[in-house]
Amino acid sequence: MVTKRIIPCLDVKDGRVVKGIQFEGLRDAGDPVALAKYYDEQGADELVFLDISASHEGRATMVDVVRETAKALAIPFTVGGGIRTVEDIERILRAGADKVSVNTAALDNPSLLTEGAKKFGAQCIVIAIDAKYSEEDQTWMVYTHGGRNKTTWAVVDWAKEATRLGAGEILLTSMNRDGEKSGFDLAVTRAVREAVTVPVIASGGAGSAEDFYQVLTGDVQADAALAASIFHYKETSVAEVKSYLRNKGVDIR
């Protein structure tokens, strides 16, 4: 049985952790280094750090903040936002990240996935997919630039193509559920999980420990589940979620 992972996410803007609803209405949630230390102590399996405005603003990720956050951690650490070249990937890995997450840049330049995987290994390359259901297309579509721009890619098709190109993991965020605390989008997670052979991290919608159970088990079987709001604002903790899952028989670290 594959061990499931619980992953807090730090959405960082202007050097501070923020959180909104459906990518809008951001409010301050604290200092990234302090929160990273807290989640490490709480027993988080990994941490994701997303510089959420870097791609939209056309600038590089905040390397200094990444370096300081990495120093505070003993767990694997994924960084995304503003990574556009192989040189960017190398700079972030040298700053202390274990993996990089790419979204907008991979759609603009798909060879980035192939080149990154070839140089650093597929396990270092995470494709971040922001998914939103489109009534017009009758399926989930991929969005870029922090959820601002709709692409012509259906989510499942892009997930298959991105992993074929070299991505070793998928970070799948449901924009419809982001910050809503109404539960993960089980349908889109299941669809992507069935379409690929690499690990899938479910993101968007966590509101309770039961939500984690539903997305990690049954016919969905995400490999990991990511959350922000409920952890940042102490509505529950990583330790409480993991305890709940263990009691339900889920294989958790």
Residues designated catalytic: 11, 130
Rounded CA gap, 95 and 208, in Å? 33
3-state secondary structure of 228: coil
Query: Residue 48: exposed, middle, or buried by beta-carbon count in 10 A (0-12, 13-18, 19+)?
Result: buried
Find where tokens 């301050």 sit: 28
Nearest residue to 70 (alpha-carbon basis) of 18, 10, 3, 120: 10
CB 200 within 8 A of CB 192: yes
What is the distance, to the nearest Å, from the Cα of residue 149 to the centroid of all Cα atoms in its chain? Answer: 18
Beta bridge partners of 61: none
Rounded CA gap, 6 and 184, in Å? 14
